[in-house]
Each structure stands twice: as structure tokens, then as C-alpha cells.
Structure 1
Amino acid sequence: MERSAAVPGVAVVVFVIKGNTVLLGKRRSSIGDSTFALPGGHLEFGESWEECAARELKEETGLDIDNIEFLTVTNNILLEEAKPSHYVTIFMRSVMVDPCQIPQNLEPNKCDGWDWYPWNDLPKPLFRPLETMALSGFNPLPADGK
């Protein structure tokens, strides 16, 4: 069997939790265009998952986060996309340093804007890695509700 020269990418996404809601944005991208997704992006060489989550969130929304922790990982082969891809997606969870801070859309060419959505009533359609995680029954909200 011949191996492809393409290799999987590593993405780090972050659930920013506010009560029972999570921060989502509507993607503008060749992968998952017009789907709702978590903030995040590519892991850079030498970067920890926590550093990547904080950096990507700051670049995309201007928010500062704290208590960043690993939740789970998914393997996503997206062959039906305009640009077929394969991503290992690392899901992190955090809270905002300042709970009154409002997310800004700092990359309008990549996102239509950010908003808070109840975990039990997510918008549709979801970006496939998030949809896969949600359909599996995984719940990103802290067990203690904080």
C-alpha cells in the first residue's frame, strides 16, 4: 500500500466556559466553511497545548484565559471538504481571567463572529471535530458547575 506524502495536522481548540455556555464562532474557511467551531488553531513547533490554546484564543478573540486543562482528543479525517485534510484535534477547557470581558472578532476573514451558546442547545451545523465530540456524549462542562 502506497503512503500519501500528506501528514495529519495537529489542532488545539479550547472550550471557554461561562456558566453552562461555550464560546463558538462561525468559520470562514476552505475546511468547515459556515460551520460553528471552537476557537483554536495549529500547534506550533515547541509549543505546549496550554500555550497554543491561550495564544490562539488571544489572537482570535482578544480574551485571556486561565485554568487551562486537557479534556480529550479526536482523530478527524475530512475527505469531503474542498481541501481534504486529516487533523488530530486536542480539546482543552478554560475560563476567562476577566468574566466580564467581551470576545472580539479579531480575524474577520476567518470567522463571522463569536457568541455564547448553551452546551445543551448548540447551533447547527457544527464543525465536524466538535460535532463528533458532541455526538459521542462528551460533556465539556465541569462536573462541579464552576
Structure 2
Amino acid sequence: MLVKDIMHKDIRCCSTSNSLDDIANQMWNEDVGFMPILDKDDKLAGVVTDRDIAMAAVLKHRPLWEISASEMVTGRPCHVCHPDDEVHKALNVMGASRIRRVPVIDGEQRLKGIIGLKDIADHTGSGGKSKNAGGLTSEELLGTIQRICKPNLLQASA
């Protein structure tokens, strides 16, 4: 099964010039916790999560309306996949990066969709059997969830 077969295509985005206050309000209104950030050329610059905003509020000691999205995404890796990737690749990216959603981009860095754990879960059967020819098993999904939820040893030792 390919990523493009199950990804969400109707995505709300923000710009690198938006403040975290703008993004938080949009997240609240859209009932989402993840926002792709596009640059001036409409290419994916990164993503901001509700957790990123909460941590910025505490650690930057500045009002959210003074912190731009570009400040949050510059220099941070953005883990992505492509529409023609196998869903297994998206699972591997999620597990290795400890993230629940992955932006889907084309060769020009343009956002085409988002694939999340729920999208994959909806296409994974119980009892180890896949609902589709993609061969996704519940054990693979569970293994990815366990990798994502593993405590961060750097923070745990602090």
C-alpha cells in the first residue's frame, strides 16, 4: 500500500511569518495539534505541534505573538515521506523519529498531504492480518507506537 492511498490531502497550513499565537489559535479552531509551515515559495519549511508551542511559551520567556513560526522550524529536521513511498516507510520514519504524523511532499518540497498513525491504523487489520494488500500488520503498528512512546533517555536522566 502506498502513502498516497491513505494520506489526508486537505491540509491547513501556516506561513513562516505567522506567530505562534496565530498558529495556536488556528490549531484550536481546527481542532488539530500539528501544523505544517510553508515558506514564501509554498514549500514545506517544517512543522509546529501544540507541544512545541507550549514548550516555547515556557522556555523562550516571550509572548507567543512575538515568536514566529520561522524561529521554530529553522534548523530543525523535518521528517517526511513521499506519495509513492510504501506505508511501511512512513511507519519506519514515525518510529525512528518518535513522531505520530509525517508530512508527505513531492520532489519540489511541496506539501501533498499528511499521514498519521490513525490513517495507518484504519488500514491495519486485527490478529496480524492486513485489511489491504499492503501487508500491514497490527504487530508492526504496535511496534511503531511502542517506539514513539519510549521515554526520552536524555530528559529522563536530567
Q: TM-score range by the shorter chain?
A: under 0.3
Which structure's CA Rg is the greater one? Answer: 2
Q: Which has the higher contact order (CA 8 A, sep 6+)?
A: 1
* Larger strand fraction of residues: 1
More helix per residue: 2
TM normalised by structure 1 equals: 0.24
